[in-house]
Amino acid sequence: KQEVTQIPAALSVPEGENLVLNCSFTDSAIYNLQWFRQDPGKGLTSLLLIQSSQREQTSGRLNASLDKSSGRSTLYIAASQPGDSATYLCAVTGTASKLTFGTGTRLQVTL
């Protein structure tokens, strides 16, 4: 059974810092990996989707990497801003197109 782990569970950084969020998964037989953002009381918004054949994807200040063989992904956020404060979730797509989600990292960017 696929398990997705995100460490740390919570992170607080000062504005302007670059930061890395980590995601690990136990079964490397995945089709892709996605990073989502969830604001308090809101639904999830897809940030980046990395296909299993890709190594990384970039969108603005966000860069996600994927090392399928080692079961790891990182989300790099450059020059963090208070508006980046949210919970970040990763999810892997396995067989039958089922998504398995991690429990998330709650990010707080302080002024």
Partner 1 sequence: NAGVTQTPKFRVLKTGQSMTLLCAQDMNHEYMYWYRQDPGMGLRLIHYSVGEGTTAKGEVPDGYNVSRLKKQNFLLGLESAAPSQTSVYFCASSLGLAGVDTQYFGPGTRLTVL
Query: Which residue ranges make up the site for partner 1 (CB under 8 A)?
Result: 4, 31-32, 34, 41-46, 49, 89, 91, 93, 97-104
Q: What does DSSP say about strands 10-14 and 105-110: parallel, antiparallel, or unpaired?
A: parallel
What values do phi and psi take at 84, rounded to 5? -80, -10
CA distance 61 to 79: 7
Q: Which is nearer to partner 1, 14 or 60 (CB)?
A: 60
